[in-house]
Amino acid sequence: MKKIILLALASIVSLMCYGQRQLGAITIDGDPLDDWLVANGSEFSTGTTYEFVVNFTGQETTDNEIQVKFLAGNFDDTADIFTAPITSADGVVTISVTPTAVNTGGILQVRSSTSTDFGPAGFTAAYTDNVFRDPVTVILGDTASVDSFTRGALTGYSYDAASDIVELDASVDYSVYNLAGSVVAEGSSATISLAGLVDGVYILATSAGTAKIIKY
């Protein structure tokens, strides 16, 4: 009986220590989380760095960290996970977040890694130690490779969906990017074939300008 009482007391003490653990105010680039999302249409860009500042209280200090994660729409992890260690029960961390992959209809998650609380979701003022905001989008941002081309809108071209050919007014250096930021075709020509690519959206970057091509 004495052992059972001691175990019960230990459980109560544990709850008292960590039962109130939660995330406090969260900001992105100095603006409150929800204000930033509304102002930016819940849209992030690959290659752009965002400064998340996360306040927290009542956290465990052993093997625990604050995580900012971009999840797929089905809640699976992606490669975009950014962390900062928790070294005190109460405090604040700054995490530089630079998304690397396009994510449409995804979920932004801010949490402590020891959290077992999976709510609330959506736009709500309440904070726990596991915050979700959805949907969010990560679009293809500017990359070093794209930057090497002319950034203005490309004119003087046509796309024939039947043949999957892009015709340009003159021969140019070009690269074709998918929405993950990978080069899927490149060369120097006035005729660009997309025949070997799957249907989808591509960025055509040339020495004469850039254009979005929808292959279908």
42 and 128 belong to one structural domain: yes
Q: End of a domain among 95, 115, 139?
A: 139
Q: Say what the pLDDT of residue 90 is.
A: 95
Q: Give the model's confidence band at 59: pLDDT under 50 very low, under 70 low, under 90 confident, else very high.
A: very high
In terms of pLDDT, which residue wins out, 42 or 154? 42
Q: Give the model's confidence band at 9: pLDDT under 50 very low, under 70 low, under 90 confident, else very high.
A: very low
30 and 59 belong to one structural domain: yes
182 and 89 belong to one structural domain: no
**Tens digits of residue pLDDT in 142-187:** 554 555 555 567 888 999 999 999 999 999 888 888 876 778 898 9
Q: Give the model's confidence band at 61: pLDDT under 50 very low, under 70 low, under 90 confident, else very high.
A: very high
167 and 80 belong to one structural domain: no
How far is it, in rounded angstroms, from Cα 136 to Cα 117?
A: 21
Residue 123 has pLDDT above 80, yes or no: no
**Tens digits of residue pLDDT in 68-112:** 999 998 999 998 999 999 999 999 999 999 998 888 889 999 999
Q: Say what the pLDDT of residue 177 is.
A: 84
**Residue-wise over 3-34: b if at least 16 C-beta within 10 A, else e?**
eeeeeeeeeeeeeeeeeebbbeebbbeeeebe
The CATH code of the domain that includes 70 is: 2.60.40.1930
Q: Say what the pLDDT of residue 14 is.
A: 43
22 and 89 belong to one structural domain: yes
Q: End of a domain among 86, 111, 139?
A: 139
111 and 47 belong to one structural domain: yes
Task: Among 10-14, 48-52, 204-208, 211-215, name the most confident range.
Answer: 48-52
Phi, psi of 143 (to 5 degrees): -120, 165
82 and 25 belong to one structural domain: yes
45 and 72 belong to one structural domain: yes
How many domains does the chain fold into? 2
Residue keyed to tokens 């699976």: 76
Query: Average pLDDT of the chain?
Result: 82
171 and 72 belong to one structural domain: no
Q: Say what the pLDDT of residue 50 is.
A: 95
For the chain, what is the total number of helices (H) and then of strands (E)?
A: 3, 14
Report yes or no on 2 lying in a domain. Answer: no
Report yes or no on 119 lying in a domain. Answer: yes
Mean pLDDT of the 126-145 span: 75
- 187 lies in which domain range? 144-215
202 and 96 belong to one structural domain: no
**How much of the chain, in percent, has pLDDT values that exceed 70?**
80
